[in-house]
């Protein structure tokens, strides 16, 4: 009868979400210590206000980007161009509104540009077989230039009350942007899990050759996730432009791709692809936003705020690494024999 080995760190985390929730709890506690009213939410004029609401409102764009990014990463790829696509879409919104077009045309146009960008990425990766990092790098580099081309190098301001409703308005007492993003998430979740699409994406990411032999059109699946990611980026561009009330080709979507990738990885989806969790990405985005607000509340200068993000990425990567867990487990058991 073999001895049952007890490890202090599980061989496979019961659920990667546990770590995120633990992290969120730690952050909330830190904030409560500094400011006991941190979690308070108040109702004014039928609208809900409060820091937790702010977290969701300000984090809504990152959540939307993380949604698209999750599916791309699940197929084993990555999309570095989302930040630039956000800039392109936002710039397009500003120009379309300035030229007097209606809301439908504006939002449709911006999302259409996102779809186009996604199609380009999808074609490069799936049809031409280019490595995702480099394929999306092309659009990332060129995209900023295209965005600047659209606005002619200027910052174009938006003065359209209906458009700003997307960022400042309330629906059923809750702010519009997070509601919109939540609805998107729920719709996508049902689509992925009630149809075979989620299964196809996981299969392609896990082992593309095997999935092809099993009869999947792997190239088509890959192309479609990039198109969807582009769509998410386009919609995020709309929300971002509404938020700052301008089409700023320089600042819109700055570093957005890094935060999105970060949220996805923290949420438990491995960079190598396969199993994914959009709930994890959602919580990952919430975690980043909470981290940002915590840093702000603790008086850390905003320029230094990336440092805790970096520590978090390293921590999460280590926890996700099989080798690290085995090594740490052995250390904790007092054996001291580290890596082979």
- Which of residues 90, 143, 253, 268 is near another protein by CB under 8 A? 143
* Helix (H/G/I), strand (E/B), else coil: 275: coil
> Within 145-174, which residues bind another protein (CB under 8 A)?
145-146, 148-149, 153
336 forms part of the interface with another protein (CB under 8 A): no
Q: How many C-beta atoms lie closer than 10 Å to residue 105's C-beta?
A: 14
265 forms part of the interface with another protein (CB under 8 A): yes
Q: For another protein, which stretch binds (CB under 8 A), given 93-101, 183-191, 285-293, 316-324?
A: 316-324
Nearest distance in Å: CB 57, another protein: 24
Provide the b/e sequence for 320-335 (b: ≥16 CB within 10 Å).
beeeebbbbbbeeeee
- Which of residues 9, 142, 155, 291 is near another protein by CB under 8 A? 142
Exposed/middle/buried for residue 143 (C-beta within 10 Å: 0-12, 13-18, 19+): buried
Helix pair angle (176-194, 161-168), 10° resolution: 70
- Which of residues 317, 330, 331, 333 is near another protein by CB under 8 A? 317
Q: For another protein, which stretch binds (CB under 8 A), given 53-61, 107-115, 179-187, 297-305?
A: 297-305
340 forms part of the interface with another protein (CB under 8 A): no
Q: For another protein, which stretch binds (CB under 8 A), given 49-57, 58-66, 225-233, 317-325?
A: 317-325
Q: Tell me the backbone φ, ψ of residue 198, rounded to 5 degrees.
A: -60, -40
Query: If you search the block for the tokens 């480099």, which residue do you land on?
Result: 134
E strands present in 152-310: 156-157, 170-171, 174-175, 246-247
- Do the Cβ atoms of 110 and 238 come closer than 8 Å? yes
Separation between Cα atoms, residue 43 and residue 322, nearest integer Å? 47
1 forms part of the interface with another protein (CB under 8 A): no
Nearest distance in Å: CB 126, another protein: 14
- Give residues in contact with another protein (CB under 8 A): 78, 124, 128-131, 133-135, 137-146, 148-149, 153, 249, 258, 261-262, 265, 271-272, 301, 303-307, 309-311, 313-314, 317-318, 321-324, 327, 339
């Amino acid at each position: 009868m073999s001895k049952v080995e007890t490890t202090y760190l599980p061989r496979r985390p019961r659920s990667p979400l546990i770590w995120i929730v633990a992290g969120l709890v730690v952050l909330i506690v830190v904030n409560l210590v500094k400011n006991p009213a941190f979690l308070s939410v108040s109702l004014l004029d039928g609208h809900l206000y409060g820091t937790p609401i702010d977290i969701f409102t300000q984090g809504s764009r990152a959540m939307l980007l993380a949604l698209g990014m999750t599916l791309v990463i699940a197929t084993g790829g990555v999309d570095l161009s989302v930040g630039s696509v956000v800039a392109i879409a936002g710039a397009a919104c500003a120009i379309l509104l300035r030229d007097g077009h209606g809301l439908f045309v504006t939002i449709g146009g911006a999302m259409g540009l996102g779809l186009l960008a996604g199609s380009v990425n999808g074609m490069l990766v799936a049809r031409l077989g280019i490595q995702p990092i480099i394929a999306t790098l092309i659009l990332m580099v060129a995209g900023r230039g295209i965005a600047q081309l659209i606005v002619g190098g200027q910052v174009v301001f938006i003065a359209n009350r209906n458009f700003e409703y997307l960022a400042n308005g309330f629906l059923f007492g809750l702010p519009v942007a997070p509601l919109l993003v939540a609805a998107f998430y729920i719709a996508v979740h049902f689509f992925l899990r009630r149809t075979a699409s989620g299964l196809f994406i996981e299969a392609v990411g896990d082992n593309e050759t095997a999935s092809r032999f099993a009869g999947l059109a792997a190239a088509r699946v890959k192309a479609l996730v990039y198109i969807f990611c582009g769509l998410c980026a386009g919609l995020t561009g709309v929300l971002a432009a509404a938020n700052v009330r301008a089409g700023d080709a320089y600042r819109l979507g700055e570093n957005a791709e890094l935060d999105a990738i970060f949220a996805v990885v923290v949420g438990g989806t491995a960079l190598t692809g396969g199993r994914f969790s959009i709930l994890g990405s959602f919580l990952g985005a919430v975690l980043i936003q909470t981290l940002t607000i915590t840093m702000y509340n603790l008086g850390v200068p905003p320029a230094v705020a990336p440092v805790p993000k970096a520590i978090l990425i390293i921590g999460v990567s280590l926890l996700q690494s099989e080798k690290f867990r085995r090594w740490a487990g052995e250390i904790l058991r007092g054996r001291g024999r580290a890596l082979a």
